Structure formats: structure tokens, C-alpha cells
Amino acid sequence: MKKTIKTITLTAATALLSLSLVGQSFAATSSFTDLNNIGSKDKIISLQQSGIISGMTSTLFAPQEKITASQTAQMLVNALGLNLDLVNFVKEPKASDYYANASNDAWYSQALIVAAVNNVELPKDLNPTKKLTREEFTHQLVRAIEISKKLPLINPVVVDIKDGDQLTVDYSGSIQRALKYGIITLNTDDTFHPKDEITRAEAAEEVFNALAYLKTHQAPVVSIDPISSTQSVQLITDTLGKLGADIQIKIDPDAKVTRESFTYLLIHTLQTSEKLPMIKLNPVDIKDNDKIDILHVGAIQTALALDIVELQADGTFLPQDGITLTEATEIANHAIKAVEGFKK
């Protein structure tokens, strides 16, 4: 196991206060004076008062100035409350670890680290001063809200964009979903002008619209805490009780619950309660089989055969990893489906 040398922590509250659109100090929340002819004026002021953006000065926003890649990173970090709270680093990260062209001493360096760790899709050859196009910014915003907020994937009805032939192919899906989410709208002639550089006002409006969508379409909160042995017993008892099983479980209340121990406990309980379907096992090759307790191998192979659990993309099971309540609940529900499927 790698030894953690340093933990970098940046809370959402700290992010909102310490990071600004242009990397300057958080500006006072007095209204900007250069928004009189900007249609998104109210949205920009709302973001300013929330601490998500600041201006070039305390009173000037410079709405028509084009936004850069580094400013985009900070805007997304601020807006989505992205942080490094749950990340332990073996060594202190640098912006250049993620983006070759980034300066480690620049005002934007911390934002680039936070963005990269949270899977915000900025190009690896990022030039921090590069002005972003409308399609580039929209794509990054859409992917950021989908990944960080775990939005369910949608398959929107494709909207006809008159200049859609100018879209970068890799961005077209994000643009269509941005239309579905209400983040963007087409021009009156149904064009999008994807290659135009996006202004600060346009970027702020998209962020405001994205946050408005998230308020009404937030994904369910997912537990990331490891499940305890007591919770494991209760979960298996409650879940398998639906099958009419006579549950008898004895477990050390202080025992650490891992992926293999929970799977074993579940399969063993099914077996002793005579609810485990009789199947012919064809052992699956598990890449990290050598890390599985020999007493648990049979249960894990059975769970794999019944589609109660599955291997990682690389063929490993990660037997010694902890398991969350959310993951354990999913596995238990798969067990019910497996048993009921064999009854039919």
C-alpha cells in the first residue's frame, strides 16, 4: 500500500472564497457597472453574489472579453464546488503533472489540479491563455456537471443545428445535451456558431443555466463510506428476508468488510438458508485471484456465475478493497434477482 505523505484538502466553501474567475481575490458583491446592455445581467450578478465569479475589478466584469482555458477551469471549480477533500496524494501535485504547458506558480495552478482530479475534460496540451470557443467551453461544462454530479446519461432528441457541420465531432453529443439541459439555446436562425470564441458573459450565462438545471435534476446522494460489519449483517438479513429465508448470521462486529468478505457472507447466507440456486460452475479467470482468501474463492466464483458481482474492466476483483453501503446494496439486490430468476 502506498504511504500517504501529504493530504491536500480544499473544501467547497474554501474553493468558493479562494478561487475567482480571473484568479484574483474575491470581489465585493456590489453590482457590476458594465452590464447595462447585457441580456444575462441578472444571472451574472447572481453568480457574483454567490461568490462563483468576480470581475476584472470590483465593479467591472468585462462581459465581452473572451474567456481563457485557465479562467474556465476556475469557473467550473467554483461553480460545482469541486475540491480535493477525499484525495490523498503520495506527493504534492503540480499543475504540470496534468498539463504540460501549465505553470506551477501561476494563479490558476491550483484550479487546474482540482479540475484534473475531478475529471473536468481540459485538453492535456492545454495552453492556459488560449481563448476557448463556444463548443469547447460548452463541452467542458456539460461533461463537468455530468461527471461531478453523476447525472444519469440521457439520449436527447437530436436538434437540427443549421451550422452543425462546423461542430467538432467529439463535441456534438455534449452540445445536443446542453440544449436538452437548457444550458444553451440556438440563435434565432437555429445556428450555434461553435467556432466563435466565447465571451465572459456567455460563459457565465451557461454556468448559471447549468446550476439551475442541477437544482431540479440532482442525482441521488451516494454513500462513499465503507460499510461496517453490523450494516452488512443488517443489509443481508433485510434483503434476503424478502425471499422468505431463515437468516442466521454470526460475524465479528469489529471485522473489516471487504469486497470478498461481503460477497462470501452473502453467498454463504444464501447457501445455509437453502436459497442458493444449484449451478454448474465454470471458473472465471480472476487476474488478482492470488489476493483472494482461499476460503472465499468458491463463493466469489458462484457470485460471478450468477451475475451477482462482476469483475473490473481489467479482469480483477479487488478483493481486499472496502465496499460501500451503496455497492453492497446493489450486490444484494442482484442476489435477489438471481434467486428469483432461477425460480421461473
Mean pLDDT across the stretch 243-248? 65
Structure confidence at residue 151 as a pLDDT band (50, 70, 90): confident
Q: What is the pLDDT of residue 150?
A: 74
Q: Is the pLDDT of residue 328 over 60?
A: yes
Q: What percentage of the chain has pLDDT greater than the value 70? A: 85
Q: What is the pLDDT of residue 301?
A: 94
Summary mean pLDDT of the chain:
83
pLDDT in tens, 103-143: 999 999 999 999 888 877 677 677 888 999 999 999 999 99
Q: Is the pLDDT of residue 32 over 60?
A: yes
pLDDT in tens, 182-239: 999 999 999 999 999 999 999 999 999 999 999 888 655 555 678 888 888 888 888 7
Pairwise pLDDT comparison (338 vs 302), residue with the higher score = 302
Q: Is the pLDDT of residue 99 over 50?
A: yes
Q: What is the pLDDT of residue 177?
A: 93
Mean pLDDT across the stretch 39-60? 90
Structure confidence at residue 333 as a pLDDT band (50, 70, 90): confident
Q: Cell 506558480 identifies what position?
A: 105
Q: Is the pLDDT of residue 5 over 60?
A: no
Structure confidence at residue 97 as a pLDDT band (50, 70, 90): confident
Decide: residue 138, CB within 10 A, 0-12 exposed, 13-18 middle, 19+ buried.
Answer: buried
